[in-house]
Structure 1
Amino acid sequence: MHPTPAQPEQSHHASHDREIESLAEFDEVVSTRRSLAHFRVQAVDLTDRTDALLSADVTGAVFLGCPMTPRAATRVAAAGALVFPPIPGLPFDPYRGFVYTPDELFDGLGEGYEATPDALSYAWFQQTRADGDVFASMLRAVHDDAVSDALDELLVGARVVGVMGGHAMARGTEEYAGAARLGRALARAGFTVATGGGPGAMEAANLGAYTAPFEDAVLPEALAVLAKVPSFVPSVTDWARAAFEVRSAWPGGGPSVGVPTWFYGHEPPNAFAAHIAKYFSNATREDGLLARCTAGVVFLPGAAGTVQEVFDNATPNYYESRGEPTPMVLVDTAHWTEHLPAWPLLRALARERPMAARVALVDRIEEAPEALKRLGG
């Protein structure tokens, strides 16, 4: 067996940041402090905690989307707390305290992808984006901020390496297999792999991290299962079921992070990222993903979205004044110098800047982990 890859934890720090995100945390705070004053209680079902809510000091507390009895809600509001009640009829929780899991987003897949919370959330987004409802836009903003907070808590202390690449990379190709081997190598080296969370190169890298704890032979076997459904077109349902078939055959895979968006609703999240931070705002998602890649980013061949990510990442590196830009590794010389010549511009930007020592171009995907190490990742 290979070393267990890095495991980001769902981190809770109620003792100093005063957030309560689970019933266990709520009970602990109430039993030890006898007070909820100035705490933020986030998406915790408190229906069975009426006695505690009636007796505890709730001065300055904020309850975000916490179900509670009418009696408890009336009391805590009268006692100085601010109560944001759950919003009925939504396919998502805008106040959620944790990032998503694949099982959560794909719940109901047996009835078809259209029945899942992921598809229903996208449908809601399409409807409310078109009608311009200010309340809906507020809910989207609250949701995305909650997801960002959860992602920050998840990644405390993690060495995160991003793997960026196009969604069109098909299962069953050598390029897909190479991206999977990259994700596996990075996870085994102790990095937390983070991707855009979608299909193609993103799925491949998350798959590689998922198979990292297993013997080497597992990855080719998993690739063979997935190759039977090369793309999410024409059927997201079949595409997702193949991924869950792999997860069922080899349960308990290694963790990684996916950061997808409902902005690209035609592009479903992949099921191999254990932790999925899904956003409505693509701009928030892009900036947040790259900012959290603290140990570097590997850019696989891609089109417009990947080119955008190259320069979104290069901009803060260019202005980094402390000499600590994050490493950037571009894979496939011909792609980045001829097909989409981002590399010459990147090198020109890097000239005489601290980031010059933190960028590299390699021919083959197998060279990326060593290049990342050489650049200080």
Structure 2
Amino acid sequence: MDGARRSTPRPDVENLADLDAVLSSGRPLRGLRLQDLDLTAYEDRLLARTDVEGLVVLGGRLSPALGAHLGAHHALVFPTDPHAPVDPYRATLYTADELYAGLDRDGYEATPDFLAYQWMKSGVAHRDTFATLLRAIHDDSITDALDEFVAHRPVVGVMGGHDLARGTTAYAAAAGLGRSLAAGGLVVATGGGPGAMEAANLGALARDESSVAVALEELAGVPSFRPSIDAWVGSALTVRAQLPRASTSGSLGIPTWFYGHEPPNVFCDGIGKYFSNAIREDGLLARATAGLVVLEGVAGTVQEIFQAVTPLFYAQPDTPCPPLVLVGQEYWSETVPVWAAVRALGQERGMGAVTHLVETAQEAAEIVLGLASERARQPR
């Protein structure tokens, strides 16, 4: 795990094909990490091995006999909580179908997404140290999975408010932004929630503009996740099932259970959902290597703006920095007057060259894609 540090290759084994290869090779098992694997079919082969000192088994399924054997030969077996609604040791990002399993049968409050939020609240309320540990392990597993999903591809972050309603001109503009950025070869990463985030993920997932237009018309029938999350998710799942998709995976959501009232949107190729909002926000912004586009939003969006400004402010003069583009001149100048502070900081430290205030989402896309194209032409 620990995907933030990849300078030294880690001996992770995250699927059964790799485990088969390792066992067949006869190489020592010392120091390997078996993450989230069902070892039931491999029990006899593993019971025959004693070269397991330092082997780490992270979750998965194994019998008490195998666990005892591994422990007796100085391997480490990390347990999980069978009552936890999510797997702390998972090796991949979530899908919408996983998080919303059971929605059509029993409603949102029976889904893993809602139950994970309740599990988090219960662990905090009862000061459950083991649950706290499992949540931390889960979030590190998600970080690792995000690194593998992105795999050095250029990522643009799109931020914006969760209250932006389907069926509005602004929602359509956010979807168009996502489509333009993804068509330009960028992975579009959002906070993974409703509103502007859902719109950008939808646009990035869709094959073309006409597909987006059809989806927008269908979604407008359920404008918001209030008052009914069930109806909001259900309509989106129906639209997603019919949506012609882009040939490349360009839609990523990074939400958090910290905002329990805010369900994740379904228009993502991968969903990296965290328990810790702080780790989630830092990870999202750090991955926005191709830039950050900020649509209208309130407190959470403002916080993200200044989190993005901080590394730009302290960057060395010769360090290439991704652009930060705020969309909505009157909004960011008058309604929520953030731009004055951003501009003042930019003048002092020279980051003004990469901070922009524009009127439309299309202008923002042109800035980000222009810089991405310029960087792609530069010799490595």
Shorter chain as denominator, the TM-score bin is over 0.9
What secondary structure does 1:17 align onto?
coil
Where do 4+ consecutive residues of structure 1 move more than 4 Å? 251-254, 374-377
Aligned match of 1:114: 109
- 1:327 paired with 2:323, answer yes
Shift of 1:252: 4.7
Aligned match of 1:195: 190
CA distance in 1, matches of 2:347, 2:26: 56
Shift of 1:312: 0.3
Alignment of 1:34-53 (within 5 A): 34-53=27-46
Aligned match of 1:340: 336
Change (3 A) 1:328 1:133: same
CA distance in 1, matches of 2:351, 2:20: 48
Structure 1 counterpart of 2:236, from 227, 236, 243:
243
Shift of 1:34: 3.4
CA distance in 2, matches of 1:225, 1:92: 31
Aligned match of 2:378: none
CA distance in 1, matches of 2:244, 2:21: 32
What secondary structure does 1:49 align onto?
helix
Q: Which moved more, 1:194-203 or 1:50-59?
A: 50-59
* Uncovered stretches (5+) of structure 2, i.e. residues with no partner: 1-5, 376-380
- 1:228 paired with 2:221, answer yes
Alignment of 1:202-351 (within 5 A): 202-211=197-206, 213=207, 215-250=208-243, 252-253=245-246, 255=249, 256-321=251-316, 322-351=318-347
Change (3 A) 1:252 1:49: farther
What secondary structure does 2:258 align onto?
helix
Change (3 A) 1:29 1:223: same
CA distance in 2, matches of 1:110, 1:35: 47
Instruction: Give, as a single letter, the amino acid of the residue that structure 2 aligns with 1:84.
Output: F
Aligned match of 1:366: 362
- 1:180 paired with 2:180, answer no
TM-score normalised to the size of structure 1?
0.92
Q: Is the 8 A contact 2:293 2:325 kept in 1?
A: yes
Instruction: Give, as a single letter, the amino acid of the residue that structure 2 aligns with 1:228.
Output: G
Instruction: Give, as a single letter, the amino acid of the residue that structure 1 aligns with 2:178.
Output: G
What secondary structure does 1:127 align onto?
helix
Structure 1 counterpart of 2:135, from 128, 134, 140:
140
TM-score normalised to the size of structure 2?
0.92
Shift of 1:251: 5.6
Shift of 1:36: 1.9
Shift of 1:368: 0.9
What secondary structure does 2:325 align onto?
strand
For each residue in 1:180-208, what CA deviation from the matched residue of structure 2 results, as whole angstroms up to 9, or x when unmatched?
Answer: 00000000000000000000000000000
What secondary structure does 1:264 align onto?
coil
Instruction: Give, as a single letter, the amino acid of the residue that structure 1 aligns with 2:215.
Output: A
Structure 2 counterpart of 1:80, from 57, 65, 74:
74
Instruction: Give, as a single letter, the amino acid of the residue that structure 1 aligns with 2:334.
Output: E
- 1:103 paired with 2:72, answer no
For each residue in 1:250-271, what CA deviation from the matched residue of structure 2 results, as whole angstroms up to 9, or x when unmatched?
Answer: 2655531101000111100000
What secondary structure does 2:209 align onto?
coil
CA distance in 2, matches of 1:163, 1:294: 12
Change (3 A) 1:131 1:85: closer
Change (3 A) 1:300 1:364: same
Cα-Cα RMSD: 1.8
Q: Is the 8 A contact 1:325 1:354 kept in 2?
A: no
Q: Which moved more, 1:20-29 or 1:31-40?
A: 31-40
Instruction: Give, as a single letter, the amino acid of the residue that structure 2 aligns with 1:261.
Output: T
CA distance in 1, matches of 2:312, 2:159: 17
CA distance in 2, matches of 1:55, 1:356: 64
CA distance in 2, matches of 1:307, 1:350: 17
CA distance in 2, matches of 1:125, 1:350: 39
Structure 2 counterpart of 1:162, from 149, 157, 161:
157
Aligned match of 2:353: 357
CA distance in 2, matches of 1:64, 1:309: 33
* Uncovered stretches (5+) of structure 1, i.e. residues with no partner: 1-12
Structure 2 counterpart of 1:71, from 65, 72, 93:
65
What secondary structure does 2:114 align onto?
helix
Q: Which moved more, 1:343-352 or 1:198-207?
A: 343-352
